[in-house]
């Protein structure tokens, strides 16, 4: 009975004393962004589940193609290696469209997801529409939006936008 009962008990969770955290692969993203998402720092004792939770939080930022963690024993505890591979986001996209009425629309759109390596987004769209047979000769639109998912390690984010539209009437 004792042998059966003893084998049915869950194994004790292993905690790791983290003496150092090393980050590699981040060419653009600031280490403080990764450490914030990890949820713990050097000098703390954490479980394997907490390490995995931190890894998933970093991956959930959407800035990386891979996020890997590895523990390395040291004399006084464990060194945690966090290796990431960043995505590249800056891509200007041309806009060109001819409607059935003969109206031309052209311009460009650009979006970056990791502005200054601080997990901030910036999106800029410029569009001009030239009308074929209408009272409006053309219209210009400029749209700029900025977003920071977290402000100073809080749970609150910031989103700002600017929208400008100008129409030239055919008189």
pLDDT value at position 63?
83
Asked if the model's pLDDT at residue 20 lies above 90, the reply is yes
Q: Is 38 helix (H, G, I), strand (E, B) or coil?
A: helix
Write down the H helix ranges in the chain: 2-8, 31-38, 48-59
Greatest Cα pair distance in the chain: 97
Average pLDDT over residues 3-29: 73
Q: How far apart are CA 16 and CA 81, in angstroms?
A: 13
Instruction: Give the tokens for residue 15.
Output: 């905690």
Token pair 């977003």 is at which residue? Answer: 147
pLDDT in tens, 64-95: 889 999 999 999 999 999 999 988 766 788 99
Report which of residues 80 and 138 the model is more confident about: 80
pLDDT band at 4 (very low <50, low <70, confident <90, very high): very low
pLDDT value at position 89?
66
Average pLDDT over residues 98-114: 89
Report which of residues 63 and 20 the model is more confident about: 20
pLDDT in tens, 36-63: 889 899 999 999 999 999 999 998 888 8
Asked if the model's pLDDT at residue 133 lies above 90, the reply is no
pLDDT in tens, 110-129: 988 777 767 788 899 999 99
pLDDT value at position 151?
76
Edge-to-edge strand ranges of the sheet holding 121-130: 93-98, 104-112, 121-130, 136-148, 158-169
Token pair 């460009």 is at which residue? Answer: 108
């Amino acid at each position: 009975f004792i042998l059966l009962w003893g084998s049915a008990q869950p194994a004790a969770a292993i905690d790791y004393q983290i003496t150092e955290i090393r980050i590699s692969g981040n060419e653009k993203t600031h280490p403080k962004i990764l450490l914030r998402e990890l949820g713990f720092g050097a000098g703390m004792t954490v479980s394997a589940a907490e390490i995995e939770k931190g890894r998933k939080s970093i991956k959930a930022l959407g800035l990386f193609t891979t996020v890997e963690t590895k523990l390395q024993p040291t004399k006084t505890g464990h060194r945690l290696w966090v290796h990431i591979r960043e995505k590249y986001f800056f891509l200007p996209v041309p806009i060109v469209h001819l409607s059935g009425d003969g109206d031309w629309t052209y311009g460009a759109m650009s979006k970056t997801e990791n502005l200054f390596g601080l997990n901030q987004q910036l999106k800029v769209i410029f569009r001009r529409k030239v009308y074929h047979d209408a009272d409006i000769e053309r219209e210009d639109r400029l749209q700029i939006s900025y977003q920071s998912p977290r402000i100073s390690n809080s749970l609150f984010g910031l989103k700002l936008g600017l929208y400008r539209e100008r129409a030239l009437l055919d008189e």
